[in-house]
Amino acid sequence: MVPVAPVRPQGGGRRRHGDRDVLAAIMFVATSGCTWRQTPEVFGPSWSTVYRRFTEWSRARLWAKLHRLMLDELGARGELDWSWCAIDSVNMRATKGGT
């Protein structure tokens, strides 16, 4: 589900950080409210690596795919409670005259 990492030529550069470390850092930023630059070093990858991977995964629509996968998995196990689901909609008439 995660996009395949680009092939890098041998020699030079650092080893690519693992997806789990990057995902943990992304989840921290998303849930803590801190900025990308405030990502703690304890996660391993730098803030710029975390942000770059977030951008790559967002462009690949990974978050929507993960959401769908989780819903499918929970539904298959009978662990979804749709009574807690909320759907919102607004209908408005168009004004006459187009203004």
3-state helix, strand, coil in the chain (%, to 5): 50, 0, 50
pLDDT classification of 40: cutoffs 50, 70, 90? very high
Name the residue among 4, 54, 2, 3 with its Cα closest to residue 24.
54
pLDDT band at residue 65 under the 50/70/90 scheme: very high
Q: Is the pLDDT of residue 25 over 80?
A: yes
48 and 54 Cβ atoms separated by less than 8 Å: no
Q: How far apart are CA 69 and CA 8, in angstroms?
A: 30
Predicted TM-score (pTM) of the model is 0.68
**pLDDT score for 5:** 65
